[in-house]
Amino acid sequence: MIIKNMLYFIREALNSLMRNRLLSFATISTVSISILILGIAVLMTMNAGSFMNRLESDVEIIAFLEKNLSSSQIRDAGEEIEKMDGVKQLTFVSKKEALHRLQENFGGKEYNLGTTIGENPLPNSYEIKAADPHNVADIAKKVEKVHGVYKVNYGQGVVEKLFNITKWIRVISVIFIVLVSLGAVLLIATTIRLAIFARRKEIKLMQLIGATDWFIRWPFFIEGILLGSLGALVAIVLLLLGYDSLISKTDSIYFFSLLSDPIILSKIYISLFLTGSVLGVLGTYISLNRFLDV
């Protein structure tokens, strides 16, 4: 029954969309805007997330060793650290190596740091990489207690700051999305209400002739879904174009590479499309319940 009548329902829905052209246009635009904001927010949080992961994986723990350790004591400390949970990689940097790096970074060829500062004041150290960046702070705390370690350094604060920023992006975009989606749903409901009003005589007649409730409801649901999904489609096209050009523009910036996995992206776009349709169904549902006595 439903499949047989689908053509009729779709025809009725399209007629109704065309009858209230201006309102249909306004509704589709509002849905587009809300889906667009949603899409931007999702892309931003996902990119921030992957950016943070990369940044965090670069965060190293440096354990500085006390001056007067024997080489076996140094080895013991290294072994103890290596046994800890979550430690991925351990590198020993001797005081000589450390001075060498300092020379390369700051001294260049004009100054010979070795002669300028006299005796090498730098300590021996271990560079530790964590398997999971989230554990950096924990590992650092444990390393601090290892015998022979007198100081531990890691990107204290940086990670937390990034977390905070993404948290705020999330909160603000959720508020925005909720508000704009609410507007979109209400506008869809209004459009459907007008469609019901325009056809009220027809609907009454259909009821008296013996049309089922669902036969009467279907065209309105299709109209609502069309409004929602058309709006989503417009938003997705805009996002696709905008994001693609953003990717090609940031391509040359090292460390700032945008998420470009086509599978993840298409999943995002499909979800956005479905969200639009759901908004349409919601709007229709509200109006059908309030204004259609079927």
Partner 1 sequence: MLVQFYNVSKIYPNGVKALDDISLRIERGEFIFLMGSSGAGKSTLVKMFFREEIPTRGQIFIASRSIVRMKRSEVPKLRRNIGIVFQDFKLLENKTVSENISFAMEVVGANIRDIKIRVPEVIEMVGLKGKEKCFPGELSGGEQQRVGVARALANRPLMLIADEPTGNLDIRISTEIMELLYDINRKGTTVIMATHAQELVRAAHKRIIMLENGRIISDSLAGEFFL
Residues that bind partner 1 (CB under 8 A): 1, 4-5, 8, 201-202, 205-213, 215
Least gap, CB of 211 to partner 1 (angstroms): 4
The pair of structure tokens assigned to 70 is 């024997």
The per-residue DSSP string of 101-154 comes to HHIIIIITTT--HHHHS-S--PPPEEEEEESSGGGHHHHHHHHHTSTTEEEEE-
Least gap, CB of 199 to partner 1 (angstroms): 10
How far is Cα 76 from Cα 65, in angstroms, rounded to an integer?
12
- Cβ closest to partner 1, residue 160 vs residue 293: 293
The residue type of 209 is I
Least gap, CB of 132 to partner 1 (angstroms): 57
The answer to whether 90 and 126 are in contact (CB under 8 A) is yes
Least gap, CB of 6 to partner 1 (angstroms): 12
Least gap, CB of 270 to partner 1 (angstroms): 34
- Cβ closest to partner 1, residue 202 vs residue 244: 202
The vertex-83 CA angle with 80 and 87, nearest 5°, equals 110
- Cβ closest to partner 1, residue 8 vs residue 168: 8
The answer to whether 41 and 173 are in contact (CB under 8 A) is yes
First to last CA, the chain: 18
How far is Cα 48 from Cα 169, in angstroms, rounded to an integer?
9
Least gap, CB of 20 to partner 1 (angstroms): 15
- Cβ closest to partner 1, residue 205 vs residue 270: 205
Least gap, CB of 288 to partner 1 (angstroms): 15
The answer to whether 185 and 279 are in contact (CB under 8 A) is yes
- Cβ closest to partner 1, residue 186 vs residue 211: 211
Residue located via tokens 């696709």? 240
How far is Cα 87 from Cα 233, in angstroms, rounded to an integer?
47
- Cβ closest to partner 1, residue 85 vs residue 213: 213
- Cβ closest to partner 1, residue 84 vs residue 294: 294
How far is Cα 21 from Cα 19, in angstroms, rounded to an integer?
6
Query: How far, rounded to the nearest angstrom, does the alpha carbon of residue 239 sit from its chain's CA centroid?
Result: 14
